[in-house]
Structure 1
Amino acid sequence: MSSAPRFQILHLHGGEARLDFGGRTHNIKVLSIANVAISLPDLVSCLKYFPLLMSLTISASLSQRNILPPDVPAFIELPNLRHLKLAHSGEEDPCLLFDRLLLPALKSLSLFMIVARTDWPYLKSFLERSRPPLKFLSLNGVPINETTLVECISYIPILTKLFVISIHCTDVKVEALTLVKSKNRLCPLLETLVFDAAGCSPSAIIKMILSRRKSPGYTNFTTRKALKYDSLGRFKLNTICSNPEIAERTKDGLLLH
């Protein structure tokens, strides 16, 4: 790494890799790790050498070893990071990574993981700590309960796209996303919503959709946006499409799937 100080893009794909940073920081702005045998402590350690990082993609089975090197700081701040994508299918928990990341400029976050937990509060503490201007959030298989999920999205008010996949949802989440004037309104700029609503009631879905669509004659949309696309997974659409107000919204441009 020290012999190529002008490198800005680094892709590690396949096999094993051991990086030697020469004890100094580097100008890498894009880092992609896929199908590489790398431990979570090594990954956490190497991030401190990339202060200019703007995009980080990790698609690998991370081993944890439970012990971090003593020189790893309590928080690793990457002030320029805009995009983070983590696809982790190993048995270890990547919580050590999220316990240390501080990403105040993050705009998109995509997480796929298989972890033996009933809840994963590390995302909540990460968002509370970083308060990023997140616009895109995708959670696939993340073991997170609805209370934690609702608190997570309360820290990202300008979110425009939310994907919640392979996570059980009930009316708790739907009611939290329903815009009610007398309550705090979560994600008023949300335009795309994807989740499995099989465990939700038709009445709650209808109320949420109508609250996020522009009512006839209502033009003051400066502080919120209308929901444009709503994918409800295994939810039976015929239970709500017969509703005349929902039918009116679909004619007006709302896409239901």
Structure 2
Amino acid sequence: MAGHSKWHNIQARKSVQDAKRGKIFTKITKELMLAAKAGGADTALNNRLKTAIAAAKSVNLPKDKLEMAIKKGTGELAGENFEEVMYEGYGPGGVAILVEAATDNRNRTVAEVRHIMSKKGGSMGEAGCVGWMFEKKGVLTFDATKYTEEQVLEVGLEAGVDDVIADEETVEAHVAPEDFSGAQQAFDDAGMEYQSELSLLPQNTIGVDKETGTKLVALLEALEDNDDVQKVYSNFDLPDDFFDDME
């Protein structure tokens, strides 16, 4: 799962840049609306919304924008009618690419995603062509400077966590979707700070060389820069020296 962890670190750095120009606000606002639309405004009954609110607070989304997005999602206020779509395809090196989008115009979004894929060395595929390679998981991410792998394991094993992966920057706990809420509560009760999301994790990763890795990162970043794209998933594993020239 090293590929997931390394790509996560790229995303973490990029999220800071995105927040400065407001792009991350747009994506989180859409997720708040979709979560509220799907499960209502009560976070006790809607864990997806609870997670979205935590993400919104972590990037300091203004309270009025947060509340407005929820009200638009529940229909209390008029708003855009977004729907969730998933596109599948392949990137350089034949790696799998999943693109999760929220759109009010399917034709526009699929055309833009196809253009980005083609321009950056990828290709669109049929529905189901790579989705089977991924598994939905709850991911709880901890700052490795605050918590050790052992600390996360100690709490997580009692809460249904089935895997913990650590590197120099983060400790990730993975849990089945049905145990996600319980795991969040267990870490809350332990007073531990974390970021959490439901994610699609690759069951296996493909090792790529530095040149291919650079092309893949460029492709995924271009996709994530699209306003309709919420998340991008892939199954590649970057070489250990990939970040040497980025420090």
- TM surpasses 0.5: no
Between Structure 1 and Structure 2, whose CA radius of gyration is higher? 1
Question: TM-score, normalised to structure 2's length?
Answer: 0.18
Structure with greater helix share of residues: 2
Question: TM-score, normalised to structure 1's length?
Answer: 0.18
**Higher RCO (C-alpha 8 Å, min separation 6):** 2
